[in-house]
Structure formats: C-alpha cells, structure tokens
Structure 1
Amino acid sequence: MTDSLAAALGRLPALVAGGGFAWWFENGHLEKLSPDTAARRARATPPLLVHFKATAAKLGVEPFMAFDLLDLFAFVRPARFCLPTPHGLLERLSLDAADDEEAVQYLHHAAQMLLEDLPRQQPRALRRSMRLAQLLNKAGWPWASYLLLGLGPEATQAPSGGFGGLDVWQELPEWVDYAPPPPPDTQSVSPTEARERLAQLLGTTAELRETQADYAATVAQAFAPREVIGMPEMVLAEAGTGIGKTLGYIAPASVWAEKNGGTVWLSTYTKNLQRQLDHELDRLFPDPAEKQGRVVIRKGRENYLCLLNLEDATQGGAARPQDMVPLSLIARWASATRDGDLAGGDFPAWAADLHGRNRTLGLTDQRGECIHAACPHYRKCFIERAVRKSRKAEMVIANHALVMIQAAMGEDDAQKPLRYVFDEGHHLFEAADSAFAAHLTGMEGVDLRRWLRGPEGGRRSRARGIANRIGDLVAQDERGRTALEAVVEMARCLPGEGWLARLSEGNPMGQGEKFLARARQQILARSAQPDSPYGLECPTKEPVNGLIDAAMDFAHGIDRVLEPVNTLTKSLSDMLADETAELDTATRSRIEGALRGLLRRKMTLDAWRSMLLDLQTETPAAFVDWFGLERIDGRDLDLGLYRHYLDPMLPFAGAVLKPAHGVAITSATLRDIAPAKADASPEAAWDSAEIRSGARHLPQPARRAAFPSPFDYANRTRIFVVTDVRRDAMDQVAAAYRELFLAANGGALGLFTAIFRLRAVQKRVIRPLAEAGLPLYAQHVDPLDNATLVDIFRAEEHACLLGTDAMRDGVDVPGASLRLAVFDRVPWPRPDLLHKARKSAFGGQAYDDLLTRLKLKQAYGRLLRRADDYGVFVVLDAQLPSRLLSAFPASVEVKRIGIREAVAETAAFLNSMRASTGGQQNLA
C-alpha cells in the first residue's frame, strides 16, 4: 500500500509560491519560476500545495484546481491545529524545512504520511471515513481516489448510507441535564489565599514575583461579600506588561469558586484571547478530563455548529457536488471537536477561507431561528451542552459582547453571573457601544422579517419563520393562533429581500423601504461627496420633505407588528403558568426559548419605534442619532437610522455592574498618563479609567491600584518619530516601511490607520521583501482570518505583518518574531458624528488626545511581552504632538529623526541586542 501510494503521489507536481517567485518540484526536478510561469503550469497540471487561495493570490491569478494539503490534513486529523502555510503543515508533521526551496520537496512525503494515518483510526471513525471517501469520490474531490487507496479495498465495499457518512449527529453523545445548583456561598478570599494559589499555579520551579502576588491580593478584594444591593465590590487594576495578570486574577477567582461553590465569569475582548485564556487555565487543571467539567468557553449562538442546519444542508440532495468537501470536513470535525465552536475553537479557521462561509460558518444559528426542544438533535446540541455546563462550571471564559448581550436581553436570569473579571478592560467602552446600540437598517429589517415570515418568493432556504417554529405550540389556543397569523402578516412592513436594488431603482415596496428611500435621499443630498467610495452619514435634523411622513407611517407599521407580538408573548407566558402540570420538560423548554426570541425582537421593535417617533421632535440627551450609508469600494451595502448611547457605560453599569456582587476590571492600559499640569491631582490619571469602565456610574468608588511593568524599556526599546516622510505620499511611506523592515530582517509589524493605505504599501513592498527572504502577510489582502495571520507571524521569525486596529490590539507575540513596530501616522479618532458628540461631552481635544495616547500605548506595548524581548517603535508622522508622548514610558527617549537615521539606528540597535543575547532570543 505504501509503495502504491508513493507512486501515485509521485506523479503530482508540488508548488510553493513566494512574494515574487515560486518553487516547482516535479519528477525529482526542482525549478524556480516566475509567478506567470508557475500559474500556467498549475492551471495545466493540478499541483500539491498548501492553501490554494493564498497560493493563487501570490501568483496574481484566480484560484485554480489543486491538491490542497490543508484539506487532506483537516480530513485525516480533525479538530487538530495546523498553521495554513507549507512550513506550518510540515512542522505539524515533524518535518523540518529550512526554506521554501526545501519545503516544496517535502510536500509529497507530507501527503503520504497523512494518507497512511487514515487506517489507524478507531473502527467507528474508520467506517465513517470510508463512507465519506466514497461520497467525495462521486463529487470529484481530487483527494478522494487517494483516500480510497490509503484506506484499502474495504473502503470501496463499505455501505455508503443515506447521508454518505455526513450524518455525524447519529454518533454524538447526548448532553446531561443537571439540577439547578444552589446559590453560591459568600465567603471572601483573603490576600494570603490569593498569594498561595498563585504560588501553586506557578509551580515549585518558578520564582514568586512580589508584584504579581500583590496584584493577585488586590484583585481578591473583588471577591469580598457585597454589602449593599446595587453596589458591587469593584476593583480597577492596571497591570503593566510582564506582571502576569492572567494568573494573577485566576488565583483569587479559582479560590472563590472552590470555597463558595460558585462560578466566576472571566471575560476578554476577542475570541482569540478567549483561546489564550483557556490555555492558561491548563495550569489550574492540568488533567483535560477534569478541566472539561470545570472550565467552559462561552460564546454567542452564532459561533456553534447547528446540527439541524448541517442536516438540512446535506439531506435530500440539497448539497451541490462542490459543497461536499466542506460538509465532509465539517462532519469529520464534529465527531472530534471539544465543544462544537466553529469560530475560534478547534475548527480550522482557514477552512472558511478556502471553502466560503456558507458551508462552514454559515451552518451556525446566525439568525436566532433555533427551534429548541422541537429539534431532533436537541439532546446533542453543542450550544445547549455549553449552556448547561456553564451553570455548574467553576470558570466560564466569555467575551465582553456575550456578557453584555445576555445582560441586556435578560437571558438566563436564574443563572446570572455574580462575579466577573473583565480582562482587556480598555475595550469595555467599545464593546458596550456595540452591544447597547440600535440600528434600524435595511439588513437588520430583512433579518427580522425573515425571522418572522421565513423564506419568501419560493426561495429555497434553511430559514424558518416563526409559524414553522412555534405554530404547533399555539395550535389549540385561539388567541395565540390569531396573534401568530397577524405577526406574520404585519411583518410585511419591514424591508424584504432585494430592498437595496429596489431603492436604487426608485421602486421601494412597503413602509420600511419607503422610509429608507427618504433616508438615502437625505444622506446623498447632505453629503459633500455623494459619489465617495466610502461610507456616508448625515444628521437627522432638518429632514428632507417626506421623510417625517415616511417615518411615522413606518412607526405605525411597527405598532401593528408589536400588538400581536405582545399578545403572542402573553399567550405563551400564560401557557407556562396555567399548564404547569401538563407541560413536559421538552415543551416547556420550547416555550421558554420562543419567549426569549420574541422578547428580544420586541426590544428591537420598541427601539426602532422610539427612534422613528423622535425624528419629529429631537433625540433624547442620552443618545446620538444619525443616518448612515455603508459602502465598501464604492458599493452600497446597507443604510438606515443609527442610535448609540452618548455614554454606553451607563447601560453597562445598569445591566452588568449593579446586579453583580463583585467585579474586577484589569488591563495594561486602563489609565491615561497625560502631560503633567501644575494643578493636576495624582489621581487624575484614573479619570479615564472611571469613565471607560462604568465605575463612575456606581454609588460607591472602585478600589484602584496600578502595578508598573518590571521591564527595562529604556535599554530594551527605542522610539523614533520620522520627520521627513510625507505621510500622504504613499511611495514615500512604502519606501520607509520597506527599508525599516529590511533593516530589522523581518519580525516587523506594520500598523495602519486606513485599509487603503495598507493595501497601497503592501503591493509596493511585497516583492523586495520576498527577494530578501522576508515573507509578508497582510490583513484585508491575504485570504486568511486575523487570528491565523497572527499565528503565522508568531511562528515565522522573519515574517512581516501589516494590519489595522485589530492587529494593534490582538497581537501577542513574545520572542524574536516581533522586534519592530511601525505606525503609518498618528492614529487620531475618526471624526464621525458619534465621535464628535462624545468629544464635545467628554472634554474636547483632551478626549481625542486620550484615545490617541491609548492607541499608541497599546501599539508600543506589543514589543515587550517578556523580560528578554527587545524592539523598535517607529511613527512615520512628523506631526505627532509632544503632548501625546506621555503614552510611552518616561524612561525612554523619543527621538525625532529622518528616515535615513531611523533605518540606520534600527539596524544598529537590533543587531546590538541580538549580539548581546547570543544571536537569538528564547522562543519558548
């Protein structure tokens, strides 16, 4: 079998593409080709490669047919991590290639290793692999014949079954329901207990740092018993990089959970950071089986695979042949996943990049159409399993968005968290800004209409209207049945599919679309550049003729939806109360789920109605309203009426902080160190933390503590402000990036204030960097998600990465892989209508300075993640004001120099640091 596999694979060419050339390996012969030549050969003979879309992009052509080793890896080793690069895949297979020239010669061996792994599966998994291989062979997947060869003659004889092996739900275990846990006890955590637990987490070989222990003892104060309703024990703790804040707060949190039989919610900003936090908890629970029962990662429903959506996508021939590959990979993964998390969990993010969202991430419950206990897979549902586990877990790893949405919607009130730790606390303001906003837009209207009415116009869709979901629940209740019929009918006032095209043609249908047409008219009429390729906005004041009438007509339409929604909600609530003895558990669960969904949509409709009515008077002082038109590259995407809180921490404090018993908010950048003033209080630096954490909306002050970083910034970093590069001359900006990246020999992060600037630089520097052996990756250019880009950057010491805000905040790369960070210009806030209102409310220019200093501080903080790190920070903007320099450590000199000197000093400093550490950093 091995010989036949090797012979079959040996007939395939292999391809690895770089930034300006490609390596082609065929019949034992290695060639270095131009991108054009490599592309012509690849289209003629499908090659072995890694990530066919990224490879095609590097060759400058459209994707072509290929034997993508990533697909093979995902099939053979489901739910296993692998970087989607040739070197990443080879490393995962314990194959070491020094460069691309060597890597391309290993691809055949990698394919053979994976195919030889197939027969070593457990019997049940092996049988399913055989069925899937047959299915994929019929669908024409290039790898299918090799799968069958690797699996042996038994594979072609295995019965394929009705779903061809895609029916993975058949073998998944059912979740276990638990009795509601008793309320947690209220014992405090002493500073000594926090310090002792920290020492336990660090282990006997690690030195206990006093500052980290002091930090843990401070955070322990958030776990004291609450003394007054609405007044949680709150701690604001700034911990500079290197303090070890993650273990510092895990220590008291874990002690409290154990002593009190309760759950602590650890919330961070992004899904990638949730994953990092989960890894840190391995120290607390080194046994994976024990950790499974005591730690749960929670995300929104839209992150988890919906088994009913998977079944709908596969049954009855619904799937097209080209969809069989992603569906098969999903089925393989679903049988091996830890928790069913498609977004940021153990599902390979690159699978969505390769095969599209519809047959991967699109299989989640994105529109809240779950039918709960009526679903045939309810007892195996990944979401329901996570919800139940979180009720008895000691640690729930959540994200800010989920915490806020659950609080705002009043979901799961019986199990509402009482103790929180918010890491990345500097992001709470923007997370709350998103969670507590209301957007009355075309896309939002279409989603709500679809949720109520289901698919329309004879379209085939997995969408399920409300009648389909709960019609049987109210079939015997005339009041509920009549209300349900009215809801479905009245929802016609909302925008429908194709609304944007109808608006462009001047042919809106229904009250919602007619209102949006008037809003669009006002946006374009009031814009100085209506043909701009970027988004437009305008105030709601002094509306154009006809807009108020259209708004009132739409508000009346929403009233007509709300009336039967309220009746239906009352009918379902009465059913729960009046038929307690008759309702089985499954039916009760369905009713409760239906009520949650209805109440959530009722809140949306109430908000939209208020926004429309306020157009004829004025916006309440707590809010900022405006009309907006979203565009990308000149193409209209969405438009409507937007409402945000002027201070989103007001609803955050009411919904999250006040009901809690204890809250710790921590970050490396909570405070703003503004330039010293003669009359400034020493506590003035905390003003920004009070504003942006919600602490100022509580009746008692938070405890505050700052722990400075132990790192030697003065000797291990340099900061340069370049004075002779015109920031709007993209040739000059690109040349500066190129020379700085070359001087650092890679390990460079380029940060940009706008996507178009990033793209302009990327296309100018990719070839010269590739010729120097420095791979370049770019957000908004490469067909890879942000987390994957960071993973690749972290793994490749000489790689360069370009990104915008998400990269500034989400890159945690200790070691030599990040030694240079370059900002294209001062990251001033975008002066949109919402920011202008907040700037006026929060201090004018001082507010702009605050936000900009925090961005600079966060970006500079990427350089040193460990004591032995070093690096250079460069801003290519002579207009960086001196008052912003307090964002950086006072011990570090900020030098304003020309680009020539900046390049020379960057090279000299990094070379000297490299030499002083023996030519390398510790990459562990």
Structure 2
Amino acid sequence: MPLPHLALHASHGGIWVADGAGTRAIGRGEAIRLAADTPVVLLNAPLIGQRLGYAELSGLDLLELFAFIHPARFAVPTPRGLARAVDLSPPEQDEDVAAFLLEAAESLLAVPAGNWAEREGAWASAQALFRMRWPWGPSVVERVAKPPRDERWLFSRLPEWEEAPPRPVPRTVTLDPSEAQARLAALTGQGAEERPGQRLYAAAAAEAFTPRAMRDAPNLVLAEAGTGIGKTLGYLSPASLWAERAGGAVWISTYTKALQRQLSHETERLFPDAAERRQRVVTRKGRENYLCLLNLEDALQGGFAGRAAVLAQLVARWAAFSADGDMVGGDLPGWLPTLFRRNGPAALTDRRGECVYAGCPHYRKCFIERAARASAEADVVIANHALVMVNAARGRELATRPTRYVFDEGHHLFDAADAMFGTVLSGAETIELRRWILGPEAGGRGRRRGLAARLSDAASYDEAAQRAIGDAVDAARCLPSDGWLGRLVEGAPHGPVEALLAAVRGLTYARAELPGDAGYGLETELAEPTPALIDAAQPAAAALDALVRPLNGLARRLEALLAEAPDWMDGPARARIEGAIASIGWRAETVAAWLALLSRVGGPADPDFVDWLSVDRAEGREWDVGLHRRWLDPTRPFAEVVLKPAHGALVTSATLTNGGDWSTAEARVGAPHLLRAPSRFTAQSPFNYAARAEVLIVTDVKRGDIAELAGAYARLIAAAGGGTLGLFTAIRRLRAVHARLADRLARDGLPLHAQHVDPIDTGTLVDIFRDDPHASLLGTDALRDGVDVPGESLRLVVMEGVPWPKPTVLHAARRLVGGGTGYDDRIVRARLAQAFGRLIRRADDQGMFVLLSAATPSRLLTAFPEGTPVARVTLDEAVIRVAARLGSTVPTLATPALSNPNTVGHEATAVTEPGPGEARP
C-alpha cells in the first residue's frame, strides 16, 4: 500500500516534492510550510533543514527507519548510498530523489513481512517508539507482528564474558628476519605482487620483537615506509609470529579511527575464520567510546525525554546486534547521533568516570569490560595512542601490560603525548570535578550520583571513610558551580577558585593580542603575573589542597578496608570500592597537578614546562577560562611511562623523518630519553610520482580575499569534475568559501560537502565523498591526516595556503628551543607531506596537488616525494592543467604561456622568501 505522505528533497540545486501522482519543484517557503504542516518523508532531516534554513525541521527521516529495520548496518546517508543498502536503483538526477524516497520507504517497511534477520526485540521497541510519537511509529507498528512468545530483551540477550586465569608472562623468543619475511609471503599469498621494500620492512620490524638486553632499554625501531610499501602487513608479519610463539599480545596503536578500521580489515588475512579472528584480534578504545548499559537502562526507563528518548530506543536496537558496543567508529552508523542534534549520545557513554565496575547489574555483559578481557587473551590488540598512554599512566590492567608495541602513524606521537600529559585548571574541568564529588545539586535528571551515594555502604560501616567523604564533599564546594562563567563576566565570582579564574580572565584580556578581535580564543604567557592574580592564587591553592587531602585519605582508608575484608563487604561492594579507588586516584593526581601549576604563579618558572592563561571563545562566545601547563618536551613522560617498561616498540609512518631528518624524528618519539639508541629503516614509496602526480603553486590568488579564494576553488573543482579535497587552515574561511560555492557547483551536478558546515560527522562525510566521484569535500586538519580515499573519488587536493603553525604561546616556546624558522619549516613540511599523501593511495591513482599561495618558499618543496613535478603557475593555467590531466571540459580562458615545471629536489625557479607579514598568519 503506498504511503499517504509526501516526500521532500532539497539540495543546493533545488527543492522537490513527490507523491503518488508525480514530482514537482517548489520554493523554500512552500517546502517549509509543507514540512511544518504534516510529516514528510525525507533523508537526513538536519541536513535538509539546514539547506532550507529551517533548523527545527523534522519528519519521517529514512535514516531513522533504516536504523530501526537494520540496526548495526551501515548505509552511506545519500540517495545513492541508501539505494545500494536497500537494493534499489539509485535516482539519476536531483529531481528524481523525492520519488525515490517514497520507493525506499516502502521497501524498508516491507522488510518485516519477510525473512528479517533483525526481528528480535523489534516489536517491543516499535511499541515504545509509538508511545513516544515517533513519526514512523504508526507505520512500523502496523507491520511488526507481536512475537508468539516473549522475546529476550536486550539486557538478557547480550552474552556474558567469563573470567579467565591470568595470562602467563610472554616467553622469551628470538625472531629471525627471514622468518618474518616467510610469514609475510604467507599473508600476501601465491601470485602476489613482489614488493622488495615490504620484505625489507618486515625484516627490519622484526628487531622490535627480539629480547631486550637491559631494563629501561627497549628495542626501538624507527621505520619510515612510503605510501604503497604495504607497511601494515609488513609489521603484522613479525607481530603475529611473535605473539604466536611467545604467547603474548602485541598492541598496535594508531592516531586515527580510519586506520583502526583499516587494520581490522587487514587482520582478515591473519585469521580468515571470523570466529577465530574475534578471539585473536581485539579493537580497544577509551571508555568514553563504548555504550554504557547502565546509562542506557536509565534512558529507557525515563531518564531521557523527547527526541533523546527516541535515540535511546534506536541505540538499544543497535546494542542487541552490535559486535562490540563501540558508539564512535564501530558499527553504530556515525550519522545516527547527528540526526538527534546531539541530544543524548554523550549521556549514553561513560564520559563522567562514574563506573562502579562489578557493582553494576550489567557488569558481566559490559561492552567495556568485555573488550578489556578479550584484549588480555588476544594476539593483536588494535588501540590508539591516547588509550595506550592512559593505560600506561593510570590503567587498572597492570598484570596484562603490553611488552611489545607498534605505533603506526608515529609522526603523531608527539601530539598525542602533548595532550595526554598536559594540565588544564579551568572552569570546565573544576565544575566537572565538583559534580563528580557532590552529584546533582538542583534536582538534575539522570543517574548521576555523588561520591557519598556511590560509597554509601562503606560510609555506613566505616566512620573513617565517612569522615573522609564528608571532608571531600565540604572541600568540593570551593569549586565553581553552575553559572560560574556568568558570574565571572559580571565581576561577581563566588569562592576562591572562581576568584582565581576571574583574575585569569582579566589578565588575559589585558595582555592578549587582539588583532581585530575576531571572537576567537585569547591567551597570554603566565609571566610577570599581576598582584591580583598572585593574591587569587594563594587561597585557590589552599582550597584545592584542602580537597586533595581528604581524597587521598579516603583512598588509603578504602585500600585498608579491602585488606580488612569486613563481613559486610560482599562482591559488589568490593567492586565498587576498587573502582572508587582507581577514580579517586587519578582525580587526586589531577588536583596535585593543579597545585603544582599554581605554585608557578608568583614563583620561579620551571624550564621543563610551558605555562599560559587562556579565555576560550567560539564565534565571540566565551565557554571556558583557565590556566594551562604543557611539557616543553612531552616525549619525556611518554618515554618514561610507555617506552621504558616495554621490551620493544616499532614506530612507523610514511612521513616519520620529514624529508630525511632522523635526529628530529628521534626527538619527536622520545628516543633520546632511552638508554639504547634506536634502529633506523627507510623504504621509499614504489609509486611513480613523476608520472602520476603534479604539484601546482598558484601565484595570483590574493591572500585574504575570500571572493578570489572561492572563485579559485570553484574553477579548480569544476575543471576536475569533482573528486576534490579542499583543505583549510581556518574554519571561518572554510565556511565562507562553502557558502559561495555550494549552489554554484550543484547546478553543474557537482555536490559539495563540508566539515564544520554539514551536520554530519567527519567519518560519514568521508564515506559520502568516497562514494561519489563527482563530489568534493572541504575540511581542516582532520581530513589532512589519515583519510584513505583511493581511486577516482579523490584526484585533486587544493590547499588554501601554506599551513604555517598557529602562533600560540606553546608554539613560541618550542620554536625558541627548536631552531626558530627551521622548527616552523619542519612542521609545515610534515603537514604538506600528509596532505599530499591523501592523493596517491595505489599504483594506478593519479592526481594533482594545488597550493593557492604565491609566497610558498622553495625550501618547503622537499615535503613532496622526490621526482614530483612542481610548477608555479597562474590560476588560469592551473585550471587548464587540471582539466587536461583529469579529463574535464576546459572552460574558455585566455591561455598564458606555461611555466617550466620544477622537480622536487631539483628546484630551478628563484623565489623570494616571504617577509614577516606575507606568508605567516
């Protein structure tokens, strides 16, 4: 039976509505009236609402219906992607999409009548969603039959993990490089392309798995492998061989989620059988990535309302079929939370550190605990740099700490360590600590509980613990409370810590440079503090000291209780106390770090650290104020906490040395802080960059002129016929360019997507881009690193300018000790190399890299692979070259004489180096 609804589609090319009688084009005003008067079938309501200028648009979103019918399945959230997911012919043109949406809706609603793999639990979910007035509720309830017997609900359906005995210490084994090469040959298979560089890489990587000779001196191997070497299988070969023989786990750490997913696919070669692979390979992420079943139960029982409650039901459907419960980058479609405009997703994960571990009724089915236990028995654990560092610094899994690591995307280790070992004393951080200790103070919704509620059993039986909790609760009242930022702005802070933040805010505004006051964040050095800041620091430090003392005392008393094991302490109570000790411990460490930072105010500077004050703002709106401390060299704590306890580690990347600079590469991964010097290995990319790629530096686009910049992007994208990745160093310019281009390109059938503009997560944007060779994508740093889009979908990379580092206080301090201009150049070359690396991902790829900056210094061109042709050209000439090489129709232009292309490593064109105000922002 046809649906009694209209379908609405809006793109940058127009707006169409369809019903059973046909399709017609309409205006924006009529589209808004239709959507407001009656539910309409649409695809991705937030995106359509943005295009209509009607943010509150809602209706019968096909993505929500897909998530209900096919939980834990992914579909690219475009008409073409949905057509493929539901096995329909995709619409040919924009005006065909609205009619297709009706067809897709009928196809999805017909699924329950057939052999439906995801039937279990659907009836109960449909009834709940109907009561919530979910737009699809009536249609779904009609079609989902009540099961003949009671279904197992989610919390009884999920399997329980089982305790296992401690894993034995890995055996001491030695790998011969030839054995690693033999394992590589087995993984690549018969008839595979011969890759000498990959064979040499596997042999070099084997050294990281040999027994170490002395304590605190791991076998560290630094390996730079150009794109196309096949480094993933190159290191999986010795890693899997060592795990098999030694009986230990190898942790493979990445910086991006994209590479985590890629690694997971590559392990299919190691373990073709899916069941065996689930046992031998485990992906680990931070706790905040996984669904918390206790939070979900609270949401399903009334903790959520409105649209957030609908999301909870759809997440529950997903959880019943999910492989690992990972809500960020796992099998939950990345677009699903964005449909709900961020109502609720964060509250469904463990972001607040309130886990009670075995005290939770769902502990034995917990996705987080299941992953932790599975990794203890696995051969290969795929993790990320942040998790590796957190586990090493304050992890609870001491008995299963890894002895062998592979750090892929090793050029990001410095940045990951910088974030991990930094300290921030800010309003946002302190109010979160207050909430953790005090719990809800004004009748807040949800299951948040204070420290006293979480440890009520210990407090009721032990007077010392009760006193320590009471002292901590009293001391926590010195921390900022709700409305703190408004009080700072009004000049009426409450309490010593708010008074400190008020002084920080005042000094930051007084000293920070305000070029045009564009509404972005402000910062200034913590140097020569004013008397007002010094006077505010002392009572704030006293208040924090009064807080950390009872926290430490409580932790000691709880440890004593565990040792005493009184009669009242059953299993759940012990588990709650063990979890509380871990949580109290790292929060007490945080407060201790704040105290160390405050001791700097009015005192001597510590040469190992960089300290500064900041006011965080976004588009003119303040959202945080604080003091910051970072290590001048964050690889020092990284080497101490992660590398020294390890027996071996491989650090690898395609851009590890930044043009052959091994000393800098070693410094940025912590090698100078180890007793044993690292081994070095280099394998050049096998790709023929001279024939397959070209770099164009456009010389006549005026810096700072948004109209010219947008015009350049429009002409280049049109010349390439789409397939363009546009990279920006500022979100403001990205948005301005997108606003000028989207409609114009859409009229030529060239879709344009943009990070920070489209209400879609970054991973899904990349999926959409990869799926359509005519589409283009604009983005910032997140798209410069780790994006893998081989083939026709990415054939042109355009950068708005030289990606100079932002002149922050932290950067200035590191620049001073890192060589001045040379330090800046190393950063820029690394960024250019990473951006260029998005272009050629396999041997048959070809493409062009365009840099819209006339003042690009010649010394930076070594960022590109040797042999890559480089030419300085006008925009007109660049458009002609792009069109000629990438096969698009050339616009009618005056054709100037072509410049002579240069070749990287053989620069011939004399270029004037930029002056202080020309190239650097």
Question: Which TM-score applies when normalising by structure 2?
Answer: 0.94
Candidates 858, 861, 872, aligned match of 2:834: 858
Candidates 473, 492, 496, aligned match of 1:488: 473
> Which SS does the other structure have where 2:741 is aligned?
helix
8 Å Cα contact 2:611-2:629 kept in structure 1: yes
Distance 1:773 1:912 in 2: 13
8 Å Cα contact 2:251-2:406 kept in structure 1: yes
> Which deviates further from its counterpart, 644-653 or 107-116?
107-116
> Which SS does the other structure have where 1:439 is aligned?
strand
Distance 1:756 1:323 in 2: 30
> Which SS does the other structure have where 2:406 is aligned?
strand
| One-letter identity of the residue aligned with 1:853 | R
CA displacement at 1:474 relative to structure 2 = 4.1
| One-letter identity of the residue aligned with 1:428 | L
Corresponding residue for residue 627 of structure 1: 613
Corresponding residue for residue 702 of structure 1: 678
8 Å Cα contact 2:285-2:387 kept in structure 1: yes
> Which SS does the other structure have where 1:614 is aligned?
coil
Distance 1:427 1:96 in 2: 43
Corresponding residue for residue 733 of structure 2: 757
CA displacement at 1:134 relative to structure 2 = 1.7
8 Å Cα contact 1:776-1:799 kept in structure 2: yes
The verdict on how the C-alpha distance between 1:585 and 1:248 changes in structure 2, with shifts beyond 3 A counting, is farther
Distance 1:428 1:688 in 2: 13
Corresponding residue for residue 36 of structure 2: 43
Corresponding residue for residue 354 of structure 2: 369
Corresponding residue for residue 136 of structure 1: 129
Corresponding residue for residue 733 of structure 1: 709
Candidates 141, 144, 159, aligned match of 1:173: 159
8 Å Cα contact 2:299-2:309 kept in structure 1: no
1:563 paired with 2:549, answer yes
8 Å Cα contact 2:690-2:868 kept in structure 1: yes
Corresponding residue for residue 448 of structure 1: 433
Corresponding residue for residue 336 of structure 1: 321
Candidates 295, 310, 317, aligned match of 1:309: 295
| One-letter identity of the residue aligned with 1:898 | T
8 Å Cα contact 2:225-2:231 kept in structure 1: yes
8 Å Cα contact 1:725-1:899 kept in structure 2: yes
State the identity %: 50
1:477 paired with 2:477, answer no
The verdict on how the C-alpha distance between 1:586 and 1:208 changes in structure 2, with shifts beyond 3 A counting, is farther
8 Å Cα contact 2:693-2:868 kept in structure 1: yes
CA displacement at 1:410 relative to structure 2 = 4.5
Distance 1:474 1:664 in 2: 48
Question: Which TM-score applies when normalising by structure 1?
Answer: 0.93
Distance 2:298 2:208 in 1: 47
Distance 1:803 1:94 in 2: 31
The verdict on how the C-alpha distance between 1:196 and 1:585 changes in structure 2, with shifts beyond 3 A counting, is farther
Corresponding residue for residue 67 of structure 1: 60
Corresponding residue for residue 57 of structure 1: 50
Candidates 10, 26, 31, aligned match of 1:17: 10
Corresponding residue for residue 920 of structure 1: none
| Structure 2: runs of 5 or more not aligned | 891-921
Corresponding residue for residue 115 of structure 1: 109
| One-letter identity of the residue aligned with 2:81 | G
1:422 paired with 2:407, answer yes
| One-letter identity of the residue aligned with 1:109 | E
How many matched pairs? 888
8 Å Cα contact 1:14-1:25 kept in structure 2: yes
8 Å Cα contact 1:330-1:360 kept in structure 2: no
Distance 1:453 1:472 in 2: 17
Distance 2:66 2:174 in 1: 49
Distance 1:387 1:455 in 2: 30
> Which SS does the other structure have where 1:78 is aligned?
coil
The 5-angstrom pairing of residues 644-659 of structure 1 reads: 644-659=630-645
Distance 1:434 1:847 in 2: 20
The 5-angstrom pairing of residues 210-225 of structure 1 reads: 210-225=196-211
Distance 2:802 2:834 in 1: 13
Corresponding residue for residue 589 of structure 1: 575
1:86 paired with 2:79, answer yes
8 Å Cα contact 1:309-1:363 kept in structure 2: yes
Corresponding residue for residue 442 of structure 2: 457
CA displacement at 1:580 relative to structure 2 = 9.2
> Which deviates further from its counterpart, 603-612 or 61-70?
61-70
Distance 1:580 1:436 in 2: 38
> Which SS does the other structure have where 2:785 is aligned?
helix
Distance 1:219 1:582 in 2: 53
Candidates 888, 892, 906, aligned match of 2:868: 892
8 Å Cα contact 1:127-1:158 kept in structure 2: no
> Which SS does the other structure have where 1:231 is aligned?
coil
Distance 2:581 2:10 in 1: 54
| One-letter identity of the residue aligned with 2:391 | Q
CA displacement at 1:30 relative to structure 2 = 2.1
| One-letter identity of the residue aligned with 1:551 | A
8 Å Cα contact 2:721-2:888 kept in structure 1: no
8 Å Cα contact 2:254-2:408 kept in structure 1: yes
Distance 1:623 1:223 in 2: 34
> Which SS does the other structure have where 1:485 is aligned?
helix
Candidates 93, 102, 110, aligned match of 1:99: 93
The alignment yields a C-alpha RMSD, in angstroms, of 2.0
The 5-angstrom pairing of residues 737-886 of structure 1 reads: 737-886=713-862
**Cα deviations by residue, 1:739-758 (Å, 9 ceiling, x for unpaired):** 00000000000000100010
8 Å Cα contact 2:12-2:742 kept in structure 1: yes
**Cα deviations by residue, 1:199-223 (Å, 9 ceiling, x for unpaired):** 2222224223221111111111100
> Which SS does the other structure have where 2:270 is aligned?
coil
Candidates 286, 304, 320, aligned match of 1:300: 286
Distance 2:358 2:395 in 1: 21
Distance 1:571 1:647 in 2: 36
CA displacement at 1:56 relative to structure 2 = 1.7
Corresponding residue for residue 175 of structure 2: 189
> Which SS does the other structure have where 1:816 is aligned?
helix
Distance 1:585 1:214 in 2: 53
| One-letter identity of the residue aligned with 2:783 | M
| Structure 1: runs of 5 or more not aligned | 1-5, 674-683, 915-924
8 Å Cα contact 1:267-1:397 kept in structure 2: yes
Distance 1:555 1:813 in 2: 51
CA displacement at 1:324 relative to structure 2 = 3.0
> Which deviates further from its counterpart, 418-427 or 544-553?
544-553
8 Å Cα contact 1:411-1:596 kept in structure 2: yes
